[in-house]
Structure 1
């Protein structure tokens, strides 16, 4: 019960990582304000838990709704202790030579501006709260190419640096700010980014999840619970000396090229070795 009596605000709460994190915080005694634009998903989340979960419809691309969310949580409980800025989607998928301004701006509003404004409008309600902290969802896409579309990756790089800058700005209030970089996690973000007919969505998920099981040195796909556990650690007293940084939870996918950890994947030196004459 590390979070007994604490007020926690989580965006993107109705599915995937957000949903799992809501359930875990509630199980440890927190009063959780679960925000999402998916009303049906949010209401089913409330019904799923025995903890104190309060669903708030919220579209984080609307700054007024972000402010209203933070104001409501603070008005109801007296303040805010933890904010997990998690809402997101794949965003615009076009490469830089094809993307238009609308797609770029929409992706930035969803993935980067929402985090900045989540911090901006929560801070007044967090000052003076011992152990207050933010955790922001970034991605391994912020660490290198090949993991996501361009706009998504750039926005997530912004989340990393925003977290560092905010940690510096808010240190005077005793508020910590960190980010988390999930790897290949088994959620619906991959299939929801594509225009897959409803009748094929489940089959597509199984294909993606099967790929996730083989994508990294840890021989299984990442689970929302893996990320939720790190979020809770970063928000807890155990992480009280950690701020302005990011934690990578990716099963080792960013260790290096596949041949560096998979003996079945040939690398450059394997090709060269094959050219060396073998003794007869």
Structure 2
């Protein structure tokens, strides 16, 4: 069980984290809770309840399809109804689709990736921001990708969706800066999660190293730590940023 810290960096705050059933979302939920937050663990997989159970009384699990407006509204309502407010949204849920050259990608595959990665971020912000305004402000963190900054071969739609997340982040930051809501993005590089074939809490196999200057995989907790920084008051003068967490990939 993840014990909450009463005096932690997120003490008194309520966070919604999508994709909390595994990978970066799960790591973030556990970390946010340890730093004092109450956490709504949201996921479509059914594993959200397991993450919430690891945390204990400071968390609830909510099953949600982030591309479904009604489901997202229910997720935000669950946060406010259960914990009384909303301070943090981490739009983390996403998936890559099957790698292929652009002309070989079907329209259904395009629609599925954009629905989760881009529309899901839009819906999360659309319904979370009014709840944050009611609480006096807040912090939104969107999980983009290094591919949204430089592009990745055979992942044109994924890269486009994540580039859209970066630009939506910047525009939303301008929309709400004067109302006390900060909007930022993290841009992970190749990270050892289920999307990369990694089992939960496993270590990358020896010899399987992605082309990142730090010469290793990123780990979910490293992106979670970046999200924690953006969620808390230590980043109070940062908004509209897209921060690479990529082992130097974008800087090459």
TM-score (norm 2): 0.90
- Rounded to whole Å, the distance in 2 between the matches of 1:75 and 1:146 is 41
Match of 2:81 in 1: 75
Corresponding position: 1:137 with 2:154: no
Match of 2:188 in 1: 182
Match of 1:110 in 2: 116
- Rounded to whole Å, the distance in 2 between the matches of 1:130 and 1:209 is 46
Instruction: Tell me by how many angstroms 1:214 deviates.
Output: 5.1
Contact 1:35 1:56 in 2 (8 A): yes
Corresponding position: 1:66 with 2:75: no
- Rounded to whole Å, the distance in 2 between the matches of 1:9 and 1:17 is 14
- Rounded to whole Å, the distance in 2 between the matches of 1:153 and 1:178 is 18
Corresponding position: 1:120 with 2:126: yes
SS of the aligned residue for 1:69 comes to helix
Corresponding position: 1:249 with 2:249: no
Unaligned runs of 5+ in 1: 192-201, 257-280
- Rounded to whole Å, the distance in 1 between the matches of 2:52 and 2:84 is 22
Unaligned runs of 5+ in 2: 1-7
- Rounded to whole Å, the distance in 1 between the matches of 2:162 and 2:208 is 21
Instruction: Tell me by how many angstroms 1:56 deviates.
Output: 0.5
Corresponding position: 1:36 with 2:43: yes
Instruction: Tell me by how many angstroms 1:208 deviates.
Output: 6.5
Instruction: Tell me by how many angstroms 1:67 deviates.
Output: 0.9
Q: In terms of Rg, which structure is larger?
A: 1
Contact 2:15 2:88 in 1 (8 A): yes
Match of 2:5 in 1: none
Quick one: structure 1 residues 3 and 131, their matched pair in 2 at CA, closer, same or farther if it must change by over 3 Å?
farther
Match of 1:2 in 2: 9
Instruction: Tell me by how many angstroms 1:102 deviates.
Output: 1.6
Instruction: From 15, 23, 26, give the equivalent of 2:33.
Output: 26
Deviations 1:94-150 (A, max 9, x none): 322122222111111010000011000011110153551100000011122336611
- Rounded to whole Å, the distance in 1 between the matches of 2:208 and 2:235 is 29
- Rounded to whole Å, the distance in 1 between the matches of 2:219 and 2:62 is 25
Instruction: Tell me by how many angstroms 1:250 deviates.
Output: 0.8
Match of 2:178 in 1: 172
Match of 1:153 in 2: 159
Match of 2:62 in 1: 56
Instruction: From 9, 15, 22, give the equivalent of 2:22.
Output: 15
Match of 1:46 in 2: 52
- Rounded to whole Å, the distance in 2 between the matches of 1:147 and 1:25 is 34
Contact 1:140 1:181 in 2 (8 A): yes
Match of 1:227 in 2: 223
Contact 1:186 1:212 in 2 (8 A): no
